[in-house]
Amino acid sequence: MTKKEKVQFVIDKLEELYPETPIPLQHQDPYTLLVAVLLSAQCTDARVNQITPLLFERADTPEAMIRLDVDEIKDIIRPCGLSPRKSKAIYELSEIILDKHKGRVPQTFEDLEALPGVGHKTASVVMSQAFGVPAFPVDTHIHRLMDRWTLSNGKNVVQTETDAKRLFPKESWNKLHLQIIFFGREYCPARGHNPYECPICSVIGRKSLFEKTKK
């Protein structure tokens, strides 16, 4: 199977399995999505979705957030981990959004990535899911699966993102990156993965996956 055929197989299989792609993080608008994505670093979406209602009940706008102090934010988000760093970032980015962006989440990668605690992946999620701008945020699931499917060499997430954008049609990026995440969680986990039963790896998976299973 050629690489082009592999790409089409992945697109078709994921569309069959996940025709609908709800955004995993609960939010109401670009600001609450930005905060939720920031909280999701090294934390599960399920845990974030337990904590954000408590935080957003107190503050769901930049104006309300800076009326809290950093320690108050930290106490609320503690279960998400890295709370000292995340609380400081949430407070400071809220100040910047008010001071520099008239209270609105900026709609460019450059401005988003200039915010405290916001890296390229977080900016990509916000740009794609809040503003509909084509982006391909790469998380651990996508990085793992692109390697397993021999669509990227898996050296780093930067290379994986470059390969994904080169191989998949631009108009599919925003939906496809969510489909891959859903697939990784359900069929292609990091541990306990059986390539013989995986709907995609069983067809185009890297040979080493099967060698490990035999052992």
In order of their start, the domains of the chain are 3-20+137-214 (1.10.1670.10), 30-129 (1.10.340.30)
Q: Using one digit for the tens of pLDDT, what is the confidence trace for 106-136? A: 999 999 999 999 999 999 999 999 999 999 9
Does residue 139 carry a catalytic annotation? yes
Confidence class for position 211, pLDDT limits 50, 70, 90: confident
Catalytic residue among 74, 86, 121, 147: 121
Q: Is the pLDDT of residue 19 over 90?
A: yes
Q: Tell me, what's the pLDDT at 4? A: 95
Q: Is the pLDDT of residue 156 over 80?
A: yes
Kindly give the residue spans of alpha helices, DSSP state H, lying in the chain.
3-17, 30-39, 45-58, 62-65, 70-77, 83-101, 109-113, 120-129, 140-148, 157-167, 173-186, 201-204, 207-214
Verdict on whether the full-model pTM lies above 0.95: no
Does residue 175 carry a catalytic annotation? no
Catalytic residue among 111, 139, 165, 175: 139
Q: Tell me, what's the pLDDT at 213? A: 65
